[in-house]
Amino acid sequence: MRLSGKVAVVTGAASGMGKAIAELFAAEGAKVVVSDLRIETAQSVVTEIEARGGTAIAVAANVAKEEDVQQLIDSAVLQFGTLDILINNAGIMDNFVPAADLTDELWDRVFAVNTSGPMRTTRKALPIFTEKKSGVIVNIASAGGLHGSRAGAAYTASKHAVVGFTKNVGFQYASLGIRCNAIAPGGVSTNISTSITAPNPFGMERAMIGMPLNPRTGEPEEIAKVALFLASDDASFVNGTVVTADAGWTAY
């Protein structure tokens, strides 16, 4: 098992890619902290993991709140003694709102979850990693973090920021035995679309122009396998970069 004895925190782990990552990591021997806003659904994931012989706990956390992030990482260390792997998966969409229609509230809300969330969890985890000269961070970015119009302006900017943050952390802490990479998924079957409540017609029309080029929609389990590679020692020489997983969509 590739993650035997490791402790992993996965945010946004009650469904979709986060759930698939938590389950796969547990199957590979990791003790997993299943974190999500929805504690009941997170606990259901824990129950499934335990039924398969894995080890996990559920922790309610809103990554947009500093106190929740503090409690999340502290809970992992309190329960399992340390932290080895941090998966920043929690994220929200932005209703395809273009720049002219952006509000401060929407911009701040999207950045609070998508960008400040990974920053806060990383900031909390790094002292643990630096002390033992070992640790792995995997950020779930997006094809929208590499290109200009896969979503609205706020989401696009937030995911571009995640890519820059990933590269900065990866290089600056490389000499301390810490790796930080990101995954840029294309279209994946998850429930993030539930955060699209009132799509902006103009912004959505512009963002959807490239959809006919998408070879296919991915499954959460396919992204989980990429995360497993990056979190494991198999990726020991991979750092400060972004792995695109999109069936070739962005290769056109």
Catalytic residue list: 155
Closest CA to 114 of 76, 163, 75, 147: 163
CA separation for the pair 149, 164 (Å, rounded): 18
Residues 6+ apart with CB under 8 A from 164: none
Residue 2, CB-side half-sphere exposure with 13 Å CA sphere = 14
Judge whether 136 and 85 are in contact, CB under 8 Å.
yes
Q: b vs e for 19-43, b when ≥16 Cβ sit within 10 Å of the residue's Cβ? A: bbbbbbbbbbebbbbbbbbeeebbb
Instruction: Report which DSSP code applies to 7.
Output: E
